[in-house]
């Protein structure tokens, strides 16, 4: 082939430099934008550089030369991108971090496969300080004083990682919507579903599932896995809330493979969360991730049945489908089926996993600390003597229960990384507490690192110590805990439900479920861990895949005062 048929190297290099500026200026996860930028320029260069005497020869020559030009173009483009990312001209160049993290988001995606990213990122903060660069355009922040500025009313919108997790830039759940106005509009229905009036209406539904959990645990003989029962309880309860019921894992029925499926897909979802564009690309291939699509179809069928049935007893679906405002003069159309399905999936995944994970973590902490177990049980007995029905009446007065719950959420936050945010690309960046976050920068306020920083919680930031929440409370709570040596307690650094107007909308429901279940279990049972088991055994198996995956919690129990009637 004539040398003239090869595209000039300087032209290819210049085109790669231009393409880099375009990609940097209009960074997006839209394949309709990115693919043409990657494929069209080398095609044009090839077409205008080859020699030809007939149209057929020109086409043949162009097709023959295109692969070489494309390879050269992509090589130059990749070199330019990497060179810029590690150069002193990058907007995040001042922030320390591992070299490979700066080079490519695929490095953190790879590291996330083992579920150790929460511990890894914390170790980076201990080594490098409060702001660490963990991706080419990604920061992890451990500055409680910056929380309000970065997550509050004037803070940044959501980041793009949820698009990678769900393998789509269109089928996005509420927590992944990047447009703040759209996010807050979508959130309205959720907010209506979590008002005090709505929560009061859920009490009987929660109480029935808690009673069912207690009854099943009464049947257990010898050692069993407590975490499996918490999984079944939380899934059945959130199925009630999301789709008006239809499951009964507590009775060993209707197992649609949710928990095995969640655990199986958690790894890939986390990987693609770090490289959203790659997840979106693979999500468009029909035969990829068929398990995810089967779960989506199940949720769609559940949503259709729930819509057809209508509201019998108000549940969260009642609000998410706008049944509460239909015919009430509200100017909000009923959401599409896709939106209802996506919200139902969010309810099931986020609600089930966070409740189960927190219950498991809480009892892991209590079983490893018999003194705390006895104190909490004594408080439960004071407010709910054996035989008395568990309601929400005394929850606010139960200070040791709240201390135990807070300490569990501090050590084992349901979402260890928190929620990802991204500064608007067309803005001026955000400056707060001497930290400047440039336009377009993605960041995490890394919850796990916040909670285990000795500057925020001391003494023993890695230990389960509920009393740290009661120091100096005295007559106000009935727990007059003496000051501790080296005591530090910075509640501004306690953000298990995030912060600001885009925080966890289901916080109130989660706390209601958790407190009701804990009170019922403590009232009814005396539990013991496996001989030789320690909290370190549990913590070692807690994996961070945005949500957590936990290991087994082996326990045995005795029913206090005999069987309930």
**Binding region:** 504
What does the pLDDT look like over 211-258, one tens digit per residue?
A: 999 999 999 999 999 999 999 999 899 888 887 777 888 988 766 666
**Upper half-sphere CA count for residue 363 (Cβ side, 13 Å):** 32
Instruction: Kindly tell me if the per-residue pLDDT of 416 is higher than 50.
Output: yes
Q: Is 428 exposed, middle or buried (0-12, 13-18, 19+ CB in 10 A)?
A: exposed
What lies within 8 Å, CB to CB, of 325 at 6+ separation is 192, 332
Between 160 and 473, the more confident residue is 160
Rounded distance, CA 157 to CA 149, Å? 12
| In the block, residue with structure tokens 């807050």 | 184
Q: Is 32 exposed, middle or buried (0-12, 13-18, 19+ CB in 10 A)?
A: exposed
Please report, for the chain, the start and end positions of each structural domain, with discontinuous segments joined by +. Answer: 3-85, 174-456+494-559
The packing angle between helices 507-524 and 226-243, to 10°, is 140
The packing angle between helices 370-383 and 507-524, to 10°, is 100
Cα–Cα nearest to 201, from 315, 319, 328: 315
Two tokens at 22?
Answer: 């375009």
Q: For the whole model, what pTM was predicted?
A: 0.91
What does the pLDDT look like over 279-305, one tens digit per residue?
A: 888 888 776 666 666 666 666 777 777
For residue 384, the model assigns a pLDDT of: 95
* SS3 assignment, position 426: coil
Identify whether the C-beta of residue 70 lies closer than 8 Å to the C-beta of residue 40: no
Two tokens at 300?
Answer: 């769609």
Rounded distance, CA 307 to CA 558, Å? 43
The packing angle between helices 276-283 and 31-49, to 10°, is 90
The share of the chain scoring above pLDDT 70, in percent, equals 92
What lies within 8 Å, CB to CB, of 197 at 6+ separation is none
For residue 296, the model assigns a pLDDT of: 63
What lies within 8 Å, CB to CB, of 282 at 6+ separation is 167, 272, 288, 289
174-456+494-559 classified as CATH 1.10.630.10: yes
For residue 1, the model assigns a pLDDT of: 40
**Binding region for heme:** 504
Identify whether the C-beta of residue 115 lies closer than 8 Å to the C-beta of residue 544: yes
For residue 564, the model assigns a pLDDT of: 40
């Amino acid at each position: 082939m004539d040398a003239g048929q090869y595209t000039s190297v300087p032209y290819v290099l210049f085109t790669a430099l231009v393409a880099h500026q375009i990609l940097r200026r209009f960074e997006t996860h839209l394949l309709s934008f990115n693919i043409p930028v990657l494929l069209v320029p080398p095609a044009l260069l090839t077409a205008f550089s080859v020699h030809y005497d007939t149209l057929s020869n020109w086409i043949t020559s162009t097709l023959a030369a295109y692969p070489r030009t494309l390879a050269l173009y992509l090589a130059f483009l990749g070199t330019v991108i990497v060179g810029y990312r590690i150069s002193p001209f990058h907007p995040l160049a001042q922030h320390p971090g591992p070299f490979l993290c700066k080079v490519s988001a695929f490095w953190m995606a790879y590291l996330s496969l083992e579920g150790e990213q929460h511990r890894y990122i914390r170790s980076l903060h201990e080594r490098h300080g409060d702001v660490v660069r963990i991706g080419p355009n990604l920061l992890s922040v451990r500055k409680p004083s910056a929380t309000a500025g970065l997550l509050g009313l004037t803070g940044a919108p959501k980041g793009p990682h949820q698009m990678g997790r769900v393998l789509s830039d269109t089928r996005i759940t509420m927590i992944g919507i990047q447009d703040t106005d759209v996010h807050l509009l979508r959130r309205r229905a959720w907010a209506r579903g979590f008002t005090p009036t709505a929560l009061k209406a859920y009490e009987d539904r929660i109480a029935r599932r808690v009673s069912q959990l207690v009854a099943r645990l009464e049947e257990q003989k010898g050692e069993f896995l407590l975490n499996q029962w918490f999984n079944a309880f939380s899934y059945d309860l959130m199925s009630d809330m999301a789709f008006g019921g239809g499951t009964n894992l507590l009775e060993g029925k209707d197992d649609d493979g949710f928990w095995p499926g969640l655990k199986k897909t958690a790894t890939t979802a986390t990987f693609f969360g770090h490289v959203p564009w790659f997840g979106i690309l693979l999500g468009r291939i029909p035969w990829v991730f068929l398990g995810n699509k089967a779960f989506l179809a199940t949720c769609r069928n559940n949503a259709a049945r729930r819509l057809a049935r209508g509201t019998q007893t108000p549940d969260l679906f009642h609000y998410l489908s706008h049944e509460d405002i239909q015919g009430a003069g509200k100017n909000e159309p009923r959401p599409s089926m896709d939106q209802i399905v996506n919200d139902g999936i969010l309810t099931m995944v986020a609600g089930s996993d966070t409740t189960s994970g927190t219950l498991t973590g809480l009892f892991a902490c209590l079983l490893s600390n018999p003194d705390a177990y006895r104190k909490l049980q004594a408080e439960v007995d004071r407010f709910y003597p054996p035989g008395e029905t568990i309601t929400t009446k005394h929850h606010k007065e139960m200070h040791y229960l709240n201390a135990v719950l807070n300490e569990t959420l501090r050590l084992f936050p349901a979402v260890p990384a928190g929620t990802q945010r991204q500064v608007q690309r067309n803005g001026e960046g955000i400056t707060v507490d001497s930290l400047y976050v440039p336009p377009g920068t993605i960041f995490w306020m890394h919850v796990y690192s916040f909670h285990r920083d000795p500057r925020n919680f001391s003494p023993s930031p890695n230990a389960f110590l509920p009393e740290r929440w009661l120091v100096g409370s005295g007559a106000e709570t009935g727990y007059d805990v003496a000051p501790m040596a080296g005591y530090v307690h910075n509640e501004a650094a306690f953000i298990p439900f995030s912060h600001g107007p885009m925080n966890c909308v289901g916080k109130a429901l989660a706390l209601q479920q958790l407190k009701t279940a804990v009170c019922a279990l403590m009232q009814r049972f005396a539990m013991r861990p496996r001989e030789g088991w320690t909290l370190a055994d549990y913590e070692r198996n807690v994996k961070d895949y945005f949500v957590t995956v936990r290991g087994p919690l082996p326990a045995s129990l005795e029913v206090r005062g005999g069987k309930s009637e």
